[in-house]
Amino acid sequence: MSRQLKSLEEEGDKLARRPSRKQTSTAECPQDKHQAQSSQKEPTKCSSRPGSSRKRQMGHGSHHKGLQEQKTCKVERPSQRLKKDRRTSLKEQRTPPKKEKVVLRKETGKQARKPRSTSLASSVSTGESLSEEELAQILEQVEEKKKLITTMRSKPWPMAEKLRELREAQAFVEKYEGALGKGKGKHLYAYRMLMAKKWIKFKRDFDNFKTQCIPWEMKIKDIESHFGSSVASYFIFLRWMYGVNLVLFGLIFGLVIIPEVLMGMPYGSIPRKTVPRAEEEKAMDFSVLWDFEGYIKYSALFYGYYNNQRTIGWLRYRLPMAYFMVGVSVFGYSLMIVIRSMASNSQGSTGEGESDNFTFSFKMFTSWDYLIGNSETADNKYVSITTSFKESIVDEQESNKEENIHLTRFLRVLANFLILCCLCGSGYLIYFVVKRSQEFSKMQNVSWYERNEVEIVMSLLGMFCPPLFETIAALENYHPRTGLKWQLGRIFALFLGNLYTFLLALMDDVHLKLSNEEKIKNITHWTLFNYYNSSGGNESVPRPPPHPADVPRGSCWETAVGIEFMRLTVSDMLVTYLTILVGDFLRACFVRFMNHCWCWDLEAGFPSYAEFDISGNVLGLIFNQGMIWMGSFYAPGLVGINVLRLLTSMYFQCWAVMSSNVPHERVFKASRSNNFYMGLLLLVLFLSLLPVAYTVMSLPPSFDCGPFSGKNRMYDVLHETIENDFPKFLGKIFAFLANPGLIIPAILLMFLAIYYLNSVSKSLSRANAQLRKKIQALREVEKNHKSIKGRAIITNSEDTVKNSSKNATQLQLTKEEPTSYSPGQIQTLDKKVQGPGSSSTNGRTSQPTNPHLVGSQPPRVTPDSGQPQSQTYSGRSASGKSIKRPHN
Amino acid sequence: MGNKQTVFTHEQLEEYQDCTFFTRKEIMRLFYRYQDLAPQLVPLDYTTCPEVKVPYELISSMPELKDNPFRQRIAQVFSQDGDGHMTLENFLDMFSVMSEMAPRDLKAYYAFKIYDFNNDDYICAWDLEQTVTRLTRGELSAEEVTLVCEKVLDEADSDHDGRLSLEDFQNMILRAPDFLSTFHIRI
């Protein structure tokens, strides 16, 4: 069958030989089948044989007649003929003449052959079953070819071969695709095929477009080749973070800020949107604006600006509701994206538990980072590989070399104690400073330093504590990798402690403001009351409302919190940039240019160039993101600032790294810590969710600012919307759902589900391990068996294969004309058996399982691919059977 | 794309995209990189598929390869005749396999060939020694090298025939956490 197709394919080239090959191929096909299938089907097939061959002979005759004109349309001919065969055979059972006309109309220019072949086909009663089968097989083959086309790129063949295969497969598909539709569905099928092709092309173009849209690809590649993958991983992380922040920014900007600016009440219309009289004259000063006071404080960047009007504008946009939902969805989206990327990261790494078994192998085969394209980095890499080899050797030779365990233990305890002291000290310092800043905020005329003390102290702590920790960690004498983990953990604890102390102090402040609120509320009411009452008894003309700037107002703790986060973010950014500028760039300049006139070698000696601090930078980024998450509810503009920050820091840090840093001396790989960073990010996200959730759920919002003013709690906006805007029964359902009697069982159920899934996954992984063991054992047994058996026949096997494949061809040759197999083909056949670029065929023949283990892409040479490659798969397997037979 | 298309025909580009993991733009970039290696050798018109080979010396001087201890092996494995001289198609092949998109199996297959120095389809002790000496620039003593090779064989050779077959190698590399991220050249 496949041979037939094959010959059909080659028809175009070998017009003269065609009839004879046809004959043999049709003759051979049932024979193969016959061996494989049950003997019952044999007679029908055999009976079909002469018919079809005759039919083809007729076709051949006609071909000779119209040879001249048909040469012009060589390529289409076979498929058309095939169609015709199928059609005619289908036709026979129904109303021949009518359909014949249709065919005639469709395939004009070939009428000469038509009547004859149809009459012939009608004489063959079993013609239909054959062509049906043919059809199914063609369909199968076309599918196979298509699959081949899509997987071509992952075949381990040289390009020339891939191209040849590709062209063949494409030609095949093109030829037979049209022949596959059934009856009337043919046009539809052809159309679908066309659409599918278009779709593939579109997808490819879209992918091309998409890869072009990924920003900074070249920059990162540049860095990667200079500094190895670990430094690049920071920039990839930064880019990822930028993407996440862009989405958050779009969410907040599009759903909260723009509607408010466009449709909300304009600036100056109500007290919360106006600068108070007392601040008015300084409100535009740069120093005031720099502290996010003045006009910026009363802008859409902060919570306080938003009005508690239920709907705004002609769209009746429910802004308070939108504000709340966006706040929730910022966290929802972030959680989702972090968890998803964690999952996809962990999917890439398989079987992490087993890495202990292959220490040396992994060092040997995967330690070289092929990305390195810089000789300095390469030198460092050589050194680090050598040391790691030596380390493993030493570890191997004496795995328990604990010489003075007491001293090490003492030192470690001491170091941890010192670091704990540092952490507590820094926490207290921040608490103290925040408290002091509250004092300052009550005073007038405070200096710049006093105003910004908190931010400065926090940044300084972040700058100086990590090196201090590193110095202390030198006491501990850990393995560098463990040491790095500890270091990261400690810096994380420091940042977290600082952030939370800051939050606690801020919370104190908030509570203080809340307690004052009642008083201010009364004052406001009283002022307004007096204002309206003192109108002089003129009741008919109501006095215009007071100017919004004159109305006394509360402190609006939400905006205060937002401003704190805003300041913290900006100062953090500035400190980072300054550190890079001074610590990296100026240092590099100094080292570079002063080296000529200095008494020691600056480049090799003390200051030298800075290394890029990956862990510090990543942690800084993570904490910055934590602050954004915390602050974005109270300062919607914060995400915008952060997007700017990430954008500038991308360019700035790229430049700084390339201009003034040197590659790491201890080049470590990035992939392992990737999920570690993501885990930290998730933790920070969770921790930053807590304070926001606390304030939303348990603190009353300010009475005169923000979208939730006047409500008891912020989430009341949900109740309000459900009650007013949804139908009654929905409200009832929600009330029912919010019932603790339902929530507690739901939580319990969730716990149970987690427990169940966890145990299932554990048992699955156990089963997995057991299966793996079993497979290993099986393989070993098989190998041993084979190595005994295989070596005995190792010398003969090559000949056997050759002979058998020749037998297979001879089987065909007997029914073929001698010319049907060109010598070239036989040559290729032999080549295939020998294998490309390798001398040992015995390896392959003695281990037939070998190629299958390549996974989804079996190598080109398989023991049963004794046929020329141009054949289709089923052809290969059919002939493969005949080759294998001598073995079995 | 107008003037870029003159290097390849549209069909050629499509075919290359089918056979590699690259997009059109990347293929063009790779071509220009290739052309830059030997501007006087490589024509700017590839529509007629000229048989041009860039010698190994030029290939190995690429910044992506010049610091790689296995550059010679890489060039040999991907070149047509195993001599390291590469045609454009070999060149595309090489970077396609080394690209980020290439699946683990494909990479493992070629990694095996790269580490199989004597082309006997097995990584034997001699191959391992070569690998170690290249990785460490001969900094390890002879005993250490032998020890390392013994350990590797001990770990990865599942059928105890004293050498690593492709199967052993894939079995081992499948579990390597860093293989995909390190066996990878960006261009």
What CA–CA distance (Å, rounded) separates B4 from A182? 43
A767, B143 Cβ separation under 8 angstroms: no
Q: What is the pLDDT of residue A789?
A: 64
What CA–CA distance (Å, rounded) separates A829 from A865? 9
Provide the shortest C-alpha distance from residue A780 to chain B (in Å): 6
Residue length, chain A?
888
What's the average model confidence in pLDDT over A331-341?
A: 93
pLDDT exceeds cutoff 60 at A705: yes
User: Cβ contacts of residue A570 below 8 Å, gap of 6+?
Assistant: A641
Interface touch A153/B18, C-beta < 8 Å: yes
pLDDT tens digits along A103-157: 434 443 333 333 333 334 444 444 445 577 777 787 788 888 878 887 877 777 8
What's the average model confidence in pLDDT over A555-563?
A: 88
Element (H, E) at A126: none
Q: What is the pLDDT of residue A15?
A: 39
pLDDT tens digits along A579-590: 889 888 898 888
From the list B147, B155, B161, the residue facing A393 with the nearest CB is B147
Nearest CA to A680 out of A758, A738, A721, A620 is that of A620
Q: pLDDT: is A5 or A719 the higher one?
A: A719
What CA–CA distance (Å, rounded) separates A26 from A57? 12
Strand partners, B164: B123
Interface touch A371/B186, C-beta < 8 Å: yes
Provide the shortest C-alpha distance from residue A17 to chain B (in Å): 31
User: Cβ contacts of residue A785 below 8 Å, gap of 6+?
Assistant: none
What CA–CA distance (Å, rounded) separates A761 from A759? 5
What CA–CA distance (Å, rounded) separates A145 from A165? 9
- Which tokens go with A732? 């009832």
Interhelix angle A557-579/A638-660, rounded to 10 degrees, is 10
What CA–CA distance (Å, rounded) separates A615 from A491? 9
pTM exceeds 0.95 for this model: no
Other C-beta atoms within 10 Å of B36: how many? Answer: 11
What's the average model confidence in pLDDT over A720-733?
A: 84
- Percent of all residues in chain A with a pLDDT value above 90, rounded to a whole number: 12
What CA–CA distance (Å, rounded) separates A675 from A342? 6
What's the average model confidence in pLDDT over A654-677?
A: 70
pLDDT exceeds cutoff 80 at A591: yes
Q: What is the pLDDT of residue A384?
A: 75
User: Cβ contacts of residue A168 below 8 Å, gap of 6+?
Assistant: A9, A870
A4, A135 Cβ separation under 8 angstroms: no
Q: What is the pLDDT of residue A177?
A: 64
What CA–CA distance (Å, rounded) separates A111 from A117? 10
Give the single-character DSSP code of A632: T
Q: What is the pLDDT of residue A536?
A: 55
Q: pLDDT: is A665 or A97 the higher one?
A: A665
What CA–CA distance (Å, rounded) separates B7 from B46? 5
pLDDT exceeds cutoff 80 at A329: yes
Interface touch B185/A370, C-beta < 8 Å: yes
* Residue A330 identity: V
For chain B, the C-alpha Rg in angstroms (whole number) is 18
Element (H, E) at A661: strand A661-662
Q: What is the pLDDT of residue B45?
A: 79
Question: What are the Cα distances from residue A525, in Å, to A520, A535, A552?
Answer: 8, 16, 9
User: Cβ contacts of residue B56 below 8 Å, gap of 6+?
Assistant: B72, B75, B79, B83, B84, B85, B86
Angle (CA) A283 A289 A292, round 5°:
110
pLDDT exceeds cutoff 70 at A829: no
What CA–CA distance (Å, rounded) separates A320 from A264? 11
- Which tokens go with A345? 């990261």
pLDDT exceeds cutoff 50 at A468: yes
Report the sign of the C-alpha dihedral through residues B156, B160, B162, B163, in that order. Answer: negative
A46, A126 Cβ separation under 8 angstroms: no
- Secondary structure (3-state) at A315: coil
Q: pLDDT: is A31 or A762 the higher one?
A: A762
Which of A354, A370, A780 is the best substitution to test chain B (most B C-beta atoms within 10 A)? A370
What's the average model confidence in pLDDT over A278-307?
A: 86
Q: What is the pLDDT of residue A642?
A: 94
User: Cβ contacts of residue B62 below 8 Å, gap of 6+?
Assistant: B33, B37
Average predicted confidence (pLDDT) for chain B: 82
pLDDT exceeds cutoff 50 at A813: no
- Secondary structure (3-state) at A317: strand
Interface touch A158/B93, C-beta < 8 Å: yes
Interface touch A211/B26, C-beta < 8 Å: yes
Lookup result for tokens 């096909």 = A29
Residue A285 CA neighbour count, 13 Å, CB half: 9
pLDDT tens digits along B166-183: 888 888 888 777 787 788
Q: What is the pLDDT of residue A865?
A: 37
A176, A79 Cβ separation under 8 angstroms: yes
pLDDT tens digits along A448-459: 777 778 778 887
Provide the shortest C-alpha distance from residue B2 to chain A (in Å): 16
- Secondary structure (3-state) at B9: coil
Angle (CA) A616 A618 A621, round 5°:
110
Q: What is the pLDDT of residue A781?
A: 79
What CA–CA distance (Å, rounded) separates B53 from B56? 9
Q: What is the pLDDT of residue A758?
A: 95
pLDDT exceeds cutoff 90 at A246: yes
Chain A neighbors of B145, CB-CB under 8 A: none
pLDDT exceeds cutoff 50 at A823: no
Interface touch B15/A166, C-beta < 8 Å: yes
pLDDT tens digits along A201-213: 788 778 778 877 8
Question: What are the Cα distances from residue A677, in Å, to A488, A492, A690, A731?
Answer: 10, 11, 20, 42
What's the average model confidence in pLDDT over A221-239?
A: 80
Chain A neighbors of B165, CB-CB under 8 A: 843, 847, 850
- CB-neighbour burial class of residue A783 (10 A; exposed 0-12, middle 13-18, buried 19+): buried
Strand partners, B86: B54
Q: pLDDT: is B150 or A861 the higher one?
A: B150
Average predicted confidence (pLDDT) for chain A: 71
What CA–CA distance (Å, rounded) separates A705 from A464? 39
- Secondary structure (3-state) at A745: helix
Q: What is the pLDDT of residue A356?
A: 57
What CA–CA distance (Å, rounded) separates A133 from A755? 53
**Which chain A residue is nearest to residue B89, measuring alpha carbons?**
A159
Output the DSSP codes for A567-629: HHHHHHHHHHHHHIIIIIIIHHHHHHHHGGGSSS-TTTSSS-PEEP-HHHHHHHHHHHHHHHH
A396, B151 Cβ separation under 8 angstroms: yes
- Secondary structure (3-state) at A662: strand
Range with lowest mean pLDDT among A308-317, A425-434, A667-676: A667-676
**Residue A538's pLDDT band (cuts 50, 70, 90):** low
**Residue A323's pLDDT band (cuts 50, 70, 90):** very high
Other C-beta atoms within 10 Å of B137: how many? Answer: 14
Interface touch B98/A365, C-beta < 8 Å: no
Interface touch B63/A370, C-beta < 8 Å: no
Question: What are the Cα distances from residue A834, in Å, to A226, A812, A842, A852?
Answer: 43, 22, 9, 18
Chain A neighbors of B159, CB-CB under 8 A: 779-780, 783-784, 787
A85, A129 Cβ separation under 8 angstroms: no
Which residues 124-153 of B have a C-beta within 8 angstroms of A? 128, 131-132, 135-137, 139-140, 144, 147-148, 151-152
A635, A511 Cβ separation under 8 angstroms: no
Question: What are the Cα distances from residue A662, in Å, to A222, A228, B64?
Answer: 14, 11, 18
Q: Does B102 touch chain A (CB under 8 A)?
A: yes
Burial A192-208 (b: 16+ CB within 10 A, else e): ebeeeeeeeeeeeeeeb
A877, A28 Cβ separation under 8 angstroms: no
A363, B178 Cβ separation under 8 angstroms: no
Output the DSSP codes for A23-75: HHHHHHHHHHHHHHS-GGGHHHHHHHHHHHHHHHHHHHHHHHHTHHHHHHTTT
What CA–CA distance (Å, rounded) separates B5 from A135? 39
- Secondary structure (3-state) at A164: helix
Q: What is the pLDDT of residue A73?
A: 38
Q: Does B96 touch chain A (CB under 8 A)?
A: yes
pLDDT exceeds cutoff 70 at A818: no
Chain B neighbors of A780, CB-CB under 8 A: 158-159
Q: What is the pLDDT of residue A20?
A: 40
| Three-class SS of A726-786 | CCHHHHHHHHHHCCHHHHHHHHHHHHHHHHHHHHHHHHHHHHHHHHHHHHHHHHHHHHHHH
